[in-house]
Structure 1
Amino acid sequence: MSNQNRVDALVAPKGSLEMLSQDEIYRLSEKSDSLHDLFHRCALAILNCGSDSDDPEAMMDEFDDFEISIIQQERGVKLQLRNAPASAFVDGKMINSVREMLFSVLRDIIFSQHEYILDRGLEHASSDKLTNVVFELLRNANVFRRMQTPDMVVCWGGHSIKRHEYDYTKRVGHELGLRELNICTGCGPGAMKGPMKGAAIAHAKQHIKNGVYLGLTEPGIIAAESPNPIVNQLVILPDIEKRLEAFVRAGHGIIVFPGGAGTAEEILYILGILLHPKNADIPFPLVFSGPKESADYFEQIHAFIGDVLGEEAQSKYRIIVDDEVEVARVMKQGMEAVRQYRKEHKDAFYYNWKLHIPEEFQRPFEPTHERVRQLNLHFDQEVHLLAADLRRAFSSIVAGNVKAQGVACIKEFGPFEIDGDKSLLAKLDALLEAFVAQQRMKLPGTAYVPCYKVITE
């Protein structure tokens, strides 16, 4: 063990992958292989959990001497760590939750990248095939369990939120936990951590020993939003589209807390799906909520949705301000409607097979300047298709803000240019300006330089 903020350690698996093939070990160990780079970046993010930074480049620079390698032994594998962040250890021993998440990284990267070769093998896959892939990724991570009734509440919201907003997410999580509901989030800090923390305390009060705190992330975002230590089930999906599908397939209802571009992306994703005619009769409780100080934020979001997607989209959710008890009650009641529907249609409680997700929401969108300029941001199309491209626009901003590849793209070629219907773009630009003014794009105290330019003239 070294001094100060670095630790060397040999770590054995706990609760995850123990055996690897020789080919898998070679690819993960060979520094020239892309799989090694992916594993290295994700592992460092796990070990750096609890960090106050959302700058992946800064993390990589700070721990540029970090090394991880796989040691093959007769009884399985171990991980050799050198110059690892000391925050992952107590008196030289790795924290158990961190150790489990570290081997979850190994498990998910091996399964998704090695077994499916997702960047090549699914390019022309059907919508049903992609849904089955998401199912298999979650099943491989042991996410599914027997349950008497739907109980998984997905909580979305920003990593960069004010303290009073964070405290409110904890209060909501506490009320959900008291009603024996479980929590799924994007696994990072802020609105992703608060509900889990509140629910964990409530579960302890209710003597619930098997509470679920499911975290779903993806390689491009994990370094900027390192998993919080409350997560007890971590799954790394290959891309944002499969991550978003995993949320709505595994979850039974969604609460949206205040956030920035990533939260807007999530809102447009779920609204685009619920607006599809095939999903008209499928119950899916959706609540927007925050403390009284965030009322203006939700008014802005609500107005934007009405202006660009219409009143039908606004009818798909309910806004509840500063009332954590009512949020939890509404979600609990919504679970009963989900239960009845799943029973009547013989659909599983653990995976929402009946929900129709159009291919426009499933195909990976890797933002480049050309692809962003080609987005169809015009009103002369079906509303769910407009939601799909608006979602891609916000996804591009997230990539330019925090994802390593997107940040590099912005550095080389300048801001993404978002073009389309000028009246629509004026609404979009106003919403984004509000996010910037409210410091929702980056953590407070971090100077924000926009990675986008909305063409309004």
Structure 2
Amino acid sequence: MASRKTTNATVSPKGSLETLSQREVQQLRETGSGSVYALFRQCALAILNTGSNSDNAKTILEAYPDFEILIHQLDRGIRLELCNAPADAFVDGEMIASTREMLFSGLRDIVYTQSELENKRVDFNSSQGITDYVFHLLRNARTLRAGVEPNIVVCWGGHSISSEEYKYTKIVGHELGLRGLDICTGCGPGVMKGPMKGATIAHAKQRIIGGRYLGLTEPGIIAAEAPNPIVNELVILPDIEKRLEAFVRVGHGIIIFPGGAGTAEELLYLLGILLHPDNREVPFPLIMTGPKSATPYLEQLHAFIGHTLGAEAQQRCKVIINDPAQVAREMAKGIKEVTQFRRERSDAYHFNWLLKIDESFQRPFEPTHENMAGLNLTREQPVHELAAQLRRAFSGIVAGNVKVQGIRLIEEHGPYQITGDPQIMQPLGRLLQAFVDQHRMKLPGGSAYVPCYRVLS
């Protein structure tokens, strides 16, 4: 990505951080140096690049090498001074409103996360402590709304999809919106944008004011996939594991659209949780869908789940092809079951406390070459643990494709080596090759995709 047109500007909070204590202001000023500042700069640059077609964090950072943010203290809060910022984030000298909201949401989340870590109130040695941490991050972002009946549909899928698949996600989002359902995605382009776009029209038709378009991300992802401008609630979780837990805790049902390695990672994460013995009776609607042209993709992904995790895993996921209205009807029906289940057990509507999530799904996985080679991809373990291991394999591939650190590791040491039982490696290799053949690993354009991995039996 070549250097682009830049501008200088100052901007004040709106939507987040409008009222601050003196301690918070001081904490924000201290953010102006060190690793926390570097993290905020990276996320801010991605937010200011909303609408960019790049999915390479390293490329985006290199396009704006002189971009800086200065934090100034005011009597009632703060002001940000942006130096050499992307000019496309402004109209006639004013920052676009959605961009400004997301910029301060990012600052809010990064500073609060750091504050929680410094106060050492988080018990990272227990599963419950990690869940409490996710809860507090979401509550601080005002994501959790007590008393509102379940209506949040999480939509997972790829950023690199065909125009037909993108149009299909908009139609499904429209059908969901007509039924009063809100949308939560990973906040980027492609599948993360389409359902939100469709729902905005449906909400307008139904005169629904205050429709929610919730985007959950993490620093490594947002740096590569800028948020789409429809997102009106942005939350940046500290890592991919906290982000995935946030999805399943706040969402009341999940739809899987066509995607690539990241979508497979998300599906394996959820299936691993649902296959845990403690969750067998917990209702959680899960639908895989796409247009007719996506039938081979959906069938192959469904078959991969059967080959690796078994028939029970396949049964937890309903496949609906080329029928957006039926997808919405099934999801609305499933959410009614979720509502009844939580009402009977006095569980919160806004946060799924009853869902058991093992620590193996919560511990951050660092995709180094050593860790990728050491994955336990064998059948000599409970099926939900195998799902956790497979999820990490796909997480590493995502890192090698789009995240700065992963890209640099691949440049220095070559592809990841993934090994395991042949009956697991063979369907894994076929699925990954299908992703490559269908251009689902990276956004189209530029040079041909070079795999960041090697699958070995």
Displacement of 1:64 in angstroms is 1.1
- Contact 1:155/1:195 (CA < 8 Å) preserved in 2? yes
Distance in structure 2 (CA, Å) of the matches to 1:95 and 1:273: 39
Distance in structure 1 (CA, Å) of the matches to 2:221 and 2:321: 29
**Is the counterpart of residue 293 in structure 1 residue 289 in structure 2?**
no
State which of 29, 32, 54 in structure 2 corresponds to 1:29: 32
- Contact 2:29/2:71 (CA < 8 Å) preserved in 1? no
1:97-108 aligned at under 5 Å gives the runs 97-108=98-109
Distance in structure 2 (CA, Å) of the matches to 1:317 and 1:155: 14
CA RMSD, Structure 1 to Structure 2 (Å): 1.4
Partner of 2:45: 44
Partner of 2:96: 95
Displacement of 1:125 in angstroms is 2.0
DSSP-derived class of the 1:74 partner: coil
**Is the counterpart of residue 132 in structure 1 residue 132 in structure 2?**
yes
Displacement of 1:147 in angstroms is 4.4
Distance in structure 2 (CA, Å) of the matches to 1:174 and 1:126: 40
Distance in structure 2 (CA, Å) of the matches to 1:121 and 1:435: 42
Displacement of 1:57 in angstroms is 1.4
Q: How many residues align?
A: 450
Distance in structure 1 (CA, Å) of the matches to 2:83 and 2:105: 19
Closer/same/farther in 2, CA of residues 416 and 117 from structure 1, 3 Å limit: farther
Question: Which range is displaced more, 57-66 or 324-333?
Answer: 57-66
DSSP-derived class of the 2:31 partner: helix
Distance in structure 2 (CA, Å) of the matches to 1:403 and 1:378: 27
Partner of 1:438: 438
- Contact 2:123/2:129 (CA < 8 Å) preserved in 1? no
Post-superposition CA distance 1:407-451 (Å, at most 9, x none): 111111111110111221011011000000000000011421111
Partner of 2:334: 334
Post-superposition CA distance 1:290-343 (Å, at most 9, x none): 000000001100110000100000000100000000000000000110010000
Distance in structure 2 (CA, Å) of the matches to 1:117 and 1:270: 31
Closer/same/farther in 2, CA of residues 51 and 152 from structure 1, 3 Å limit: same
Displacement of 1:27 in angstroms is 3.3
Post-superposition CA distance 1:356-412 (Å, at most 9, x none): 001110011111111111110001110000000000000000011111111111111
Post-superposition CA distance 1:197-251 (Å, at most 9, x none): 0001100111111100000000011111111000000000000000000000000
Partner of 2:252: 252
Displacement of 1:17 in angstroms is 1.4
**Is the counterpart of residue 211 in structure 1 residue 211 in structure 2?**
yes
**Is the counterpart of residue 302 in structure 1 residue 302 in structure 2?**
yes
TM-score between the two structures when normalised by the length of structure 2: 0.96
Closer/same/farther in 2, CA of residues 117 and 451 from structure 1, 3 Å limit: farther
Partner of 2:5: 5
Where does structure 1 lack aligned partners over 5 or more consecutive residues? Answer: none
Distance in structure 2 (CA, Å) of the matches to 1:23 and 1:421: 54
Displacement of 1:66 in angstroms is 1.1
Displacement of 1:26 in angstroms is 4.2
- Contact 2:29/2:72 (CA < 8 Å) preserved in 1? no
Distance in structure 2 (CA, Å) of the matches to 1:26 and 1:12: 14
Question: Which range is displaced more, 300-309 or 405-414?
Answer: 405-414
Displacement of 1:75 in angstroms is 2.1
DSSP-derived class of the 1:378 partner: coil
Distance in structure 1 (CA, Å) of the matches to 2:80 and 2:12: 7
Partner of 2:117: 116
Matched residues, percent identical?
61
Partner of 1:16: 16
- Contact 1:27/1:35 (CA < 8 Å) preserved in 2? no
TM-score between the two structures when normalised by the length of structure 1: 0.96
Post-superposition CA distance 1:111-159 (Å, at most 9, x none): 11232249x8868420001001000000000001244421000000000
Runs (4+) of structure 1 exceeding 4 A deviation are 120-124
Question: Which range is displaced more, 400-409 or 235-244?
Answer: 400-409
1:370-381 aligned at under 5 Å gives the runs 370-381=370-381
- Contact 1:287/1:327 (CA < 8 Å) preserved in 2? yes
